[in-house]
């Protein structure tokens, strides 16, 4: 009996490209290509006279949103080279003045996204990930008193 199941080397799920080896280089490449097209739009907006502060806001709401989307899920599978590519892209955006010079490095932005997700899961007992957290154990000590 012949199977009609096709073997693939990567799959895109919820906007994240996952390879069969659980590497994120394909996702990072796709992400940077997508952000490069937004860079073109930012250049066009600047040419049409958009104020710098508005341009920074558009950058934050488009490019940074793309870079940080679902990052707590895929960041752990990134190589140092992938993170370096993302950081170089962000530095290039800073040098082109598409974003503020005070914008953090990509690793710091990812850390903030991780912390934000953790706080949300921790504070919402109905969150789907909340049950995966361990309960805080209250430690009581029954020590022998000294004379």
Number of domains in the chain: 1
Residue 23 lies in a domain: yes
Which whole-number Å values give the CA distances from 74 to 2, 40, 70, 92, in the listed order? 35, 26, 7, 23
In a domain, 102, yes or no: yes
Task: Report the pLDDT averaged over residues 36-45.
Answer: 94
pLDDT digits (tens, 9 = 90+) for 104-134: 999 999 999 999 999 999 899 898 988 888 7
Mean of pLDDT over the chain: 90
78-105: pLDDT as tens digits: 999 999 999 999 999 999 999 999 999 9
Is 87 domain-assigned?
yes
**Does 83 fall in a domain?**
yes
Report the pLDDT value the prediction gives residue 14, as an integer from 0 to 100: 87
Query: How high is the pLDDT of residue 17?
Result: 85
Within a domain: 47: yes
Q: What is the pTM of this model?
A: 0.78
* DSSP β-bridge partners for residue 11: 18
**Rounded distance, CA 67 to CA 12, Å?**
16
- 39: domain range? 10-132
Is the per-residue pLDDT at 1 higher than 70?
Answer: no
Q: pLDDT by residue (tens digit) across 13-31?
A: 888 888 888 889 999 999 9
In a domain, 139, yes or no: no
Residues 6+ away with beta carbon under 8 Å from 23: 77, 79
Beta strands 16-19; 10-13: pairing state: antiparallel
User: Tokens standing for 25?
Assistant: 């280089």
- 86 neighbors 63 (Cβ within 8 angstroms): no
In a domain, 2, yes or no: no
């Amino acid at each position: 009996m012949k199977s009609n199941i096709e073997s693939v080397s990567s799959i895109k799920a919820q906007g994240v490209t996952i390879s069969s080896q659980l590497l994120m280089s394909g996702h990072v490449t796709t992400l940077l290509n997508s952000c490069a097209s937004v860079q073109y739009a930012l250049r066009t907006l600047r040419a049409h006279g958009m104020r710098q502060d508005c341009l920074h806001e558009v950058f934050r709401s488009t490019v940074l949103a793309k870079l940080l989307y679902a990052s707590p899920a895929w960041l752990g599978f990134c190589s140092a080279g992938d993170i370096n590519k993302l950081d170089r892209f962000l530095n290039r955006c800073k040098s082109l003045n598409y974003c503020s010079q005070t914008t953090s490095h990509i690793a710091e932005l990812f850390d903030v996204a991780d912390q934000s997700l953790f706080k949300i899961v921790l504070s919402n007992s109905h969150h789907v990930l909340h049950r995966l957290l361990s309960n805080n154990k209250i430690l009581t000590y029954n020590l022998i008193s000294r004379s």
